[in-house]
Amino acid sequence: MKNLIYILLLLCVSISLNAQQIGKSTYGAFALTNAKIVTFNNGVVEGTLMINDGRITSVGADINIPSDATVIDCEGKFIYPGMIDAGTTLGLNEIGAVSLTQDANEIGDLTPHMEALTAVNPNSVLIPVTRVNGVTTVLTNPTGGRFPGRAALINLHGYTPQQMYAGFKGQTMNFPSSGRRGRWDRRSDEDRKKQEEKNLKSLKTVWDQLQLYQQVKNNLESGDRLNYNPELEALLPVYEGKEKLIINVNKKADILSAIKWVQDHKVDAIFAGVADGWRVADELAEANIPVITGPVLNYPSKNSDKYDRPYANAGLMHKAGVKVAIRTNETENVRNLPFNAGFAAAYGLGKEQALKAVTIVPAEIFGMDKEIGSIEVGKQANIFVCDGDPFETKTTITHLFINGWNVPMESRHTYLYDEFLDRSPGLKN
């Protein structure tokens, strides 16, 4: 009986591929049997993983499979927790060079009231392309300016932003930098320094205003007026230490000054980017600020740097005791998250820690480790089934579950492959 359902299921999938119809996700009870289940608290468990109503309901060798469950035989396969990319613009941006498809960057330096979740396009073509590589959840963040807006953690499945929302939001900030922005940046050292000082000054102004705003707000008496000030209102939770602030900072000098700023202002901070992290790993560890680093597949920022610094950065920080998650900082190629993790693993982070850096560590950093980030009973069923090492390019992912939904392994890229591998008509009609 189970086998029959399995065959029927396979048939359905192949029919839908041939017909070029977009497969629909299915929901309910699933039993993933005969699998090697990779958990963090119990090692690799051989047996069955049960999903019911969006949650992981059991993991183990001897599991009673209810009759209504869809059984998927995972003989010879592995089950991993869905990967989390802790920094992307997925869902906000669509086509890089077409500005009207770009929703990540609002005008203005101070736009903390912009909500990423508002502009997430659930039907972005990029989303299926991403999730079929095992990335089930991403932080999508606004970009540009000093305070670009509020980032949101989303699951890569759903038809409204609210369906996709994965429970975490955090303010973002680009820390003032004196660094050259790239080889096209021709500003003199002096100009850049001046700009940096100006930026730090304006940051102080924002915090002074927040102090005033809080004071007025907390002491309002009837008839008093608190002016409409959405920017300050949006930053107030950060000021009060109630909301996390994700600070993009990369250069050594900037990281050091960001650490000091965070400590002086008692901000609940997460650092992102942190390209020079290896230069100041001890200071970062001592400050106890978690880091979302990446992309790993990146070019060294100084000509005098050793070639492998971007690859080795995550490992070097981890060794010094920093809590490190990995991000791609990408849009259309967030799907390369496993390869970023793979390179970090090879260049010093190690396979196990690299896997954690794209699963449980970001979940912990976002305070969502009760819900996602590992295979544990009771957590959201964000998992994927594959036939080998999840970071290896040769590995094939066969099944994908997001929030308990069995998501078809399809995307624009697979449709085009199916249509054009053996094109019809070919050369001649």
Partner 1 sequence: MKKYIIIISLLIPIALFSQQIEKGSMLIKNGTILTVTKGTIDKGDILIKDGKIHKIGRDLKATSDMEIIDASGMFVMPGIIDAHSHLGIDAVNEATSPVTAEVFVGDALNPFDIGIYRALAGGCTTSHAMHGSANAIGGQCETIKHRWGTEDPEVLRMKDAPRTIKFALGENPMRVHGEGSGIQPATRMGIEQVFRKAFSEAKQYKAEKAAMINGVGPLYNERMEVLSDILDGKIIIHCHSYRADEIVMLMNVLKDFGVNKICFQHVNEGFKIAPELAEFGASASVFADWWAYKFEVYYSTAYNAAILQRNGVITSINSDSRELIRHLYHEAAKSQKYGGLSDDEALALITLNPAKQLGIDNRVGSIEEGKDGDIAIFNVHPLSVYAIPQYTIVDGVVRFNINEDPDDMRLYVDPNEDIQTYHYEAGHGHDHDHDGCMQDVFETGLFEEKH
Partner 2 sequence: MKLSKHILILSLLVLSSLSMLHSQTIEETIRPVTNAIAIENATIISKPGMSTNNANIVIKNGIIKSVGANARIPKNAKKLKGDSLYVYPGFIDALGHIAIPKAKEEENKDRPKSPGMATHKQAGITPELKASTIINANDKTVAEWRKMGFTSAHTVPKGKMLPGTGALILLKGSTAEEMLVSDASSLYAQLQGSGRGAAPATVIGVIYKYKELYRQATQAKNHESMFSRNSVGAKRPVYDKALKAFYPVIDRKYPVYFKANKSLDIHRVLQMQKELGFPLVLTGVKDGAAVSSKIKSANASVLLSTDLPKAVEEKKEDDKKEKEEEISEETKAMTARKNEAIKNAESQFLQFNQQGIKTAFTSADAKSKEFFGNLKRMKDAGATDDMILAALTTTPAELLGVSNLMGSLDNGKMGNLVVLNKPMLEKGAQIKYVIIEGELFEYEIKQKKAKKKGDGEEVSSEALKVLLGDWEYTIDTPDQVRKGGLNFSGSPDEIIGVISSDDMGGDTELENVSFSNNEISFNFDIEMGPNTATLEVEATVDGEDMTGNMTVGEFGTFPFSATKVSPE
| Touching partner 1, residues 351-370 (CB under 8 A) | 351
Applying CB under 8 A, which part among 163-171, 190-198, 263-271, 406-414 lies near partner 2?
Answer: 190-198
The listed partner (partner 2, partner 1, none) that binds 152, CB under 5 to 8 Å by sort, is: none
**Pick from 46, 208, 286, 392: which binds partner 1 (CB under 8 A)?**
392
Which of partner 1, partner 2, none sits in contact with 225, Cβ below 5 to 8 A by type?
A: none
251 counts as binding partner 1 under rule CB under 8 A: yes
**Main-chain dihedrals φ then ψ at residue 183, nearest 5 degrees:** -75, -15
SS3 call for 170: strand
Question: How far apart are alpha carbons 336 and 194 in whole angstroms?
Answer: 38
| Beta carbons of 397 and 386 less than 8 angstroms apart | yes
Length of the chain as a residue count: 429
Q: State the Cα–Cα distance between residues 402 and 164, nearest whole angstrom.
A: 10
CB of 395 to partner 1, least distance (A): 8
What distance in Å separates the CA atoms of residue 376 and residue 107, rounded to the nearest whole number?
Answer: 42
Kind and range of the H or E run holding 22: none
Stretch that binds partner 1, among 16-24, 30-38, 213-221, 303-311 (CB under 8 A): 303-311
Distance CA 389, CA 80 (A): 10
∠ CA 134-343-257, rounded to 5°? 100
- Write down the least CB distance from residue 297 to partner 1, Å: 7
Residue 248 Cα to chain centre, angstroms: 14
- Residue 303 near which of partner 1, partner 2, none (CB within 5-8 Å, type-dependent): partner 1
Q: Which one, 155 or 411, has the nearer CB to partner 1?
A: 411
Of the residues 343, 366, 401, 405, which one makes contact with partner 1 according to CB under 8 A: 343
Among partner 1, partner 2, none, what does residue 52 contact (CB within 5–8 Å per kind)?
A: none
From the list 365, 393, 360, the residue with the least C-alpha distance to 82 is 360
Binding of residue 118 to partner 1 (CB under 8 A): no
Which of positions 8-37 make contact with partner 1 (CB under 8 A)? Answer: none
Minimum distance between the CB of residue 178 and partner 2, rounded to whole angstroms?
A: 12
Contact between 387 and partner 1 by CB under 8 A: the answer reads no
Distance CA 86, CA 124 (A): 19
Q: Check binding of 414 to partner 1 (CB under 8 A).
A: yes
Give which of 104, 197, 201, 132 is closest to 408, Cα–Cα.
Answer: 132
Give the residue, chosen from 187, 194, 260, 266, that forms a contact with partner 2 under the rule CB under 8 A.
Answer: 194
- Determine, following the binding rule CB under 8 A, whether residue 331 of this chain makes contact with partner 1: yes
Q: Are strands 291-293 and 324-326 parallel, antiparallel or unpaired?
A: parallel
* Separation in Å, CA 260 to CA 175, 207, 263, 269, 289: 12, 15, 5, 12, 11
| Residue 190 binds partner 2, judged by CB under 8 A | yes
| Residue in 328, 353, 359, 380 binding partner 1, rule: CB under 8 A | 328
Nearest-approach distance from CB 251 to partner 2, in angstroms: 14
Place of tokens 């010879």: 76
**Taking contact as CB under 8 A, which single stretch among the options 6-14, 28-36, 376-384, 391-399 is the one that binds partner 1?**
391-399
Are 404 and 379 contacting, i.e. CB atoms less than 8 angstroms apart? no
| Count of beta carbons in the 10 Å neighbourhood of residue 341 | 29
Binding partner 2 by CB under 8 A: which of 41, 218, 227, 304?
304
State the Cα–Cα distance between residues 326 and 110, nearest whole angstrom. Answer: 27
From the list 5, 95, 220, 377, which residue makes contact with partner 1 (rule: CB under 8 A)?
95
Number of H helices, E strands in the chain: 13, 16
Nearest to 84 by CA among 372, 283, 309: 372
- Partner from partner 2, partner 1, none contacting 190, C-beta within 5 to 8 A by type: partner 2
Does residue 3 touch partner 1 according to CB under 8 A?
Answer: no
Stretch that binds partner 2, among 84-92, 186-194, 314-322, 390-398 (CB under 8 A): 186-194
Q: Which of partner 2, partner 1, none does residue 153 bind (CB under 5 to 8 Å by kind)?
A: none
Token pair for 151: 């980032």
Q: Does 123 bind partner 1 (CB under 8 A)?
A: no
Nearer to partner 1, 52 or 93 (CB): 93
- The C-alpha atoms of residue 69 and residue 333 are separated, in whole angstroms, by 34
**Angle in degrees, 0-180, between the axes of helices 309-320 and 337-344, rounded to the nearest 10:** 70
> Which residues of the chain form contacts with partner 1 (CB under 8 A)?
94-98, 125-126, 179-186, 189, 248, 250-251, 253, 273-276, 295, 297-308, 328-333, 335-336, 338-339, 342-343, 345-347, 351, 389, 391-396, 412-414, 416-417, 420-421, 423, 426-427
Binding site for partner 2 (CB under 8 A): 190, 193-194, 279, 304
